[in-house]
Structure 1
Amino acid sequence: MVVLLGGCVTPDARWTVPTAGRPLGSPSARPSASSSGVPIAPADWQPCPDAYKAIFPKPPQNVSFSCATVKVPQDWNNPKGSGTFDIALVRGRSTTQRDRVGSLFINPGGPGASGFEYAVYRSVYLPAEVVRRFDVIGFDPRGIGRSSPVKCFSDADLDANFGIDPDPVSDAQFQQSVALARRLAQSCGDKYGDTLRYFSTEQTVRDMDALRAAVGEEKLTYLGYSYGTLLGAVYAQLFPKNVRALVLDGAVDPTLSTQDSAEKQAAGFELAFTNFTNWCRDNASSCPIGPDARAVVTKAIADARAAPVKGQGGRTATAGWVFTAVVSSLYSESSWRTLAQAMQDLQSGKPDKMFALADSYADRDPSGKYNNMFDANAAVGCTDSDDTPTLEQARALQAQWRQKYPLFGGSLALNLICAQWPGKRDPYPTGAATGSAPIVVIGTLGDPATPYEQAPALAKMLGVGTLVTWKGEGHTAYPKTGCIIDAVNRYLIDLRVPPANLTCDK
């Protein structure tokens, strides 16, 4: 019952796609961070030179870090009647900064990934031209990381979640998955009760406008990946006049139903896996499990069901863990060689490389501890979704999708935690960003987690979107290739919108 994520790449964390929305109501009837009358104090930046330690073994050169905490209402619909959340921010500033444009907010996706840590990373690994012109600002969205984190899943339950059969066939196996998902969902309900509804995407977007004001920017410049594209899209709908420039890379189509979104992701992962197997066939010297890598991986999962390999410390390489390793490797073409070697080692009774791939996806450390990525992922994703298939519908879809998408369909049909979620739902709005500045939307043809067709759909929905296409593999495109880098840099710095339907080769 692996949760497939639609998130970005480095550092070792993965981010998921959202599931459902609602039509946009009258903006005048919806409170906003800028018009609610709630005082938001300016960010009180303080030096935090150790911020790098979560990402880098040594202090990076030519960048300094400052940190701040901004308080926001727990419920923007009732700001005076609810408590507050603390939102943690970090600012990376080049020591060679010149001709400053402003602040570039950045989000890696999820929901559940740390924007704080990602901004530290990107302060070093964005194009130098951008870093010299912008402060790079990241924040952990409410419920995530350093920002009033949601934590309701035990390490043991998360191990069980990733280790359980990803595509249970018998009724007994299916009911075992249902029971585990129910335990996970109820643990959040028992701990957080009615406050679970405060972790919705729309609440986070209203936080974003408060953060924009808190750092002193009149308008928002933003780089969002994967689920971060949803945050950007909803922001543009709610606060169109506050948009300076938004880059939405690895685009999510907010208009898709939960079921349609999951099926498109199943097709996307199946396509990415086929591309991996074709690479294995054509690169025998780099892929020791070729020429039929699909048969090898399929057999490895089947063998793990019957007789899982034991690893160091007695850890068992179940079908779920093998499947998670495969999922992890498809987010970046650079991981294909690692997957091939891991599968060869597994055949020889050595699961260490397989576990390393799986753990990088799950954010599981060597001692078996997890951060709160998947707790927050459930809290946000399930709160956002009011059309999750029932358990009965999921069971029927599982059989259908297994036939259409042999490796990934059965698993992606089973959104069993959200199907049993105890909290109230708060779907995000969908609609045009009328009155917004132009927005750049990027899609990658080989993206497994946010399949390409969602990018033109998002650009069209926004009404002010300009589509950029990368003929590449893996999840997200910037800054991986020169054509994309040039187009995004010119847009962020000079507000020069790329030509309509720009296509960049690998």
Structure 2
Amino acid sequence: MRWTRAAVMASALSTALSIMIAGCGAGPSDRPDVAVERPGVASNPTTSAAAAPPPVAEVPKTDLSWRDCTAPTLNLLGLGPAPSGLVLDCAEYSTPIDASGSVLGSFRTGAMRARLAQTPTDVPPLVLTSGTDRSSTATLAGLAVGGPALLSDRAIVAVDRRGLGSSQPIDCLPAEIRRGLADNGQFGPGAADQVGAVSEFSQDGTIACRDFLQPYEGTFDATHAADDIEQLRKQWQVERIDLLGSGNGAKVALSYARKFGDHLAKLVLDSPEPVGTDAVTKEEQRLQGAEAALSGFAQRCTGLGCSLGADPRAAVADLVARAGNGGLGDISANALLTTITGFLGAPRADQASRVTELADALSAAGRGDRAALSTLMLRESAATASDGQFVNRCTDTQQPPTPSKATELRTTWGQKYPVFGAAAAVALMDCSAWPVSGTPPLPTKLNIPVLVMVGIADPVVGNGGTASVTGALGAAGAQHATVTWQGWGHPVFTHSGCAQRALLDYLKTAKLPADATACPA
């Protein structure tokens, strides 16, 4: 089989695993109080003596060949020394390129397990997928370093999507196209028409990657990612697993529920991206979350007297405008915004103590010293701009806009969302040339309760898509309850102690909290 030129050079951890060392915002709340905003509309029915016991996940009978990768992982990600007792184990397992057999061959899927010295070994692990937002292994590493308390109760196993993180990498984009997409076409001969420039980069990148990957260029969707998780279940020789999908990973989790719902014991959808939504609507929902998260950061920054001055939000907006006009040299506005978004949405739970790190990097760049900002940009670029993410994201994209619509939105969103809007409109063209995939089928019948968690200021997916997800669950007959975190960041379970308690209670008892439970920031 032919998979990728980079396969022979693949290390146990791909540079796509990299994430930024910093996050900012309110950390996990240890306040015990929660509020119920309205009466539960999807709470558990009254149990009867004749009711069947809830399904339970099992401890793996045949585990993967784990190896300790704590130090190299944290060094690669720039996450600093490991908290006392933290162990990160890495492993790979072979999965069919296509489970139906229409395309022969296999590839290497990467997984990582996080645990503490005291983590029980007789409790089934929680399987995590964060989809394409950043690699699942990077998401788990951020959680483990920033707030590992959840690991005291059970281990978490993260599974990377194809071509991301520690899975077999993809190397298909020419360097100039990769850079052009990252910079939103700001530099080069086509800079006068950034929408047109990115459209051309998309066309050239699509041709390059699909030619390189054929005949399996169509196997990078959420459905095939669900097949890879099912292969892990089979490897473990267990009947049921507990699964958490965050952000784009919620789409993978829903695909797993549709295909393999009988093998689920518990299902958690954390900060899910919308389902059945076109690219423009989905991106505007993300923009709303990004602007709200920046406001939350600015408020915290002001309270700390940070280096961005009396109005941190205005200082950030000014720096983005300067980058867009070439005032930061080769740092484009889009690359700067990608870094800021990644920082605001970092999975680390210790954001409150790291606000000044982003503030100091931005203020130094404003004075002409770009060293700290460049370091953050490199880490975030490695986390969110790999060739594998281009392929997976474009495969997942539904109904991208025309160039004329994107040009119109550049003006409209630039006014409505003054920091992130204009760049987001141009970036809508990233996947404009990729063949549009069909909408992934949703579960038609789901017999387990589902926990949904959402944040009010999520810079990665926003929260406008929650209704589409809970609607799909209701249509499948699944009981569900939503927990809303009042802070900012992504995903919820890494930041909120209140949400973590709700998650652990659900995993232990299969009982949902009252619907519309609110967790304080």
Return the match for 1:74 from 80, 88, 97.
97
Return the match for 2:336 from 319, 322, 331.
322
Return the match for 1:150 from 158, 164, 170.
170
Change (3 A) 1:183 1:491: same
Find the counterpart in structure 1 of residue 380 from structure 2: 361
Does the 8 A contact of 2:97 with 2:107 survive in 1? yes
Find the counterpart in structure 1 of residue 420 from structure 2: 408
Find the counterpart in structure 2 of residue 480 from structure 1: 495
SS at match of 1:323: helix
Alpha-carbon displacement from aligned partner over 1:287-317 (angstroms, at most 9, x marks no partner): 333333344333323333445345xxxxx33
SS at match of 1:198: coil
Return the match for 1:49 from 54, 58, 68.
68
* Per-residue deviation, 1:261: 0.2
Does the 8 A contact of 1:289 with 1:340 survive in 2? yes
Does the 8 A contact of 1:89 with 1:116 survive in 2? yes
Return the match for 2:357 from 314, 338, 341.
338
Find the counterpart in structure 1 of residue 110 from structure 2: 88
* Per-residue deviation, 1:165: 5.7
* Per-residue deviation, 1:231: 1.5
Return the match for 2:233 from 191, 212, 215.
212
SS at match of 1:466: strand
Alpha-carbon displacement from aligned partner over 1:195-245 (angstroms, at most 9, x marks no partner): 211111111112212211211221121222211222222222322222211
1:358 is matched by which residue type in structure 2? M
* Per-residue deviation, 1:362: 1.0
SS at match of 2:430: helix
SS at match of 1:418: coil
SS at match of 1:420: coil
Measured in 1, the distance between the counterparts of 2:67 and 2:355 equals 37
* Per-residue deviation, 1:346: 2.2
Measured in 2, the distance between the counterparts of 1:167 and 1:236 equals 44
Find the counterpart in structure 2 of residue 161 from structure 1: 181
Q: TM-score, normalised by structure 2?
A: 0.77
Number of equivalences: 455
Change (3 A) 1:60 1:474: closer
* Per-residue deviation, 1:476: 1.9
SS at match of 1:189: helix
Return the match for 2:285 from 244, 260, 264.
264
Measured in 2, the distance between the counterparts of 1:457 and 1:374 equals 29
Measured in 2, the distance between the counterparts of 1:135 and 1:193 equals 37
Find the counterpart in structure 2 of residue 470 from structure 1: 485
Deviates more, 1:388-397 or 1:154-163: 154-163
Alignment of 1:74-153 (within 5 A): 74-76=97-99, 78-79=100-101, 81-92=103-114, 94-98=116-120, 100-111=122-133, 113-119=134-140, 127-128=148-149, 130-153=150-173
1:419 is matched by which residue type in structure 2? S
Return the match for 2:449 from 438, 442, 453.
438
* Per-residue deviation, 1:251: 1.8
Return the match for 2:460 from 424, 434, 449.
449
Return the match for 1:192 from 190, 195, 213.
213
Measured in 2, the distance between the counterparts of 1:116 and 1:324 equals 20
* Per-residue deviation, 1:374: 2.8
Alignment of 1:290-329 (within 5 A): 290-309=309-328, 316-329=330-343
* Per-residue deviation, 1:127: 4.9
Measured in 2, the distance between the counterparts of 1:384 and 1:137 equals 23
Measured in 2, the distance between the counterparts of 1:121 and 1:263 equals 27
Matched, 1:247 2:268: yes
Find the counterpart in structure 1 of residue 50 from structure 2: none
Find the counterpart in structure 2 of residue 3 from structure 1: none
Matched, 1:417 2:430: yes
Change (3 A) 1:184 1:289: same
2:372 is matched by which residue type in structure 1? K
SS at match of 2:266: strand
Does the 8 A contact of 1:108 with 1:224 survive in 2? yes
Q: Percent identity?
A: 23
Alpha-carbon displacement from aligned partner over 1:414-465 (angstroms, at most 9, x marks no partner): 32231112x5735422355x23311111001121222223234422321232
2:343 is matched by which residue type in structure 1? S
Does the 8 A contact of 1:317 with 1:351 survive in 2? no
Alpha-carbon displacement from aligned partner over 1:67-101 (angstroms, at most 9, x marks no partner): 5443322123x326522222233444554344722
2:109 is matched by which residue type in structure 1? I
Alignment of 1:163-182 (within 5 A): 163-164=183-184, 172-182=193-203
Does the 8 A contact of 1:69 with 1:86 survive in 2? yes
Deviates more, 1:145-154 or 1:170-179: 170-179
Does the 8 A contact of 1:272 with 1:474 survive in 2? yes
* Per-residue deviation, 1:166: 6.4
Does the 8 A contact of 1:212 with 1:218 survive in 2? yes
Find the counterpart in structure 1 of residue 366 from structure 2: 347
SS at match of 2:495: coil
Structure 1 unaligned blocks of 5 or more:
1-6, 15-40, 311-315, 364-370
* Per-residue deviation, 1:347: 2.6
Find the counterpart in structure 2 of residue 24 from structure 1: none
Find the counterpart in structure 1 of residue 396 from structure 2: 384
Change (3 A) 1:264 1:115: closer
Does the 8 A contact of 2:85 with 2:117 survive in 1? yes
Alpha-carbon displacement from aligned partner over 1:24-44 (angstroms, at most 9, x marks no partner): xxxxxxxxxxxxxxxxx9866
1:492 is matched by which residue type in structure 2? L
Measured in 2, the distance between the counterparts of 1:186 and 1:125 equals 40
Change (3 A) 1:401 1:456: same
SS at match of 2:280: helix
Higher relative contact order (CA 8 A, sep 6+): 2
Measured in 2, the distance between the counterparts of 1:218 and 1:12 equals 37
Change (3 A) 1:426 1:307: closer
Deviates more, 1:220-229 or 1:118-127: 118-127
1:239 is matched by which residue type in structure 2? F
SS at match of 2:205: helix
* Per-residue deviation, 1:119: 4.4
Structure 2 unaligned blocks of 5 or more:
1-15, 24-59
SS at match of 2:127: strand
Change (3 A) 1:309 1:123: closer
Change (3 A) 1:91 1:217: farther
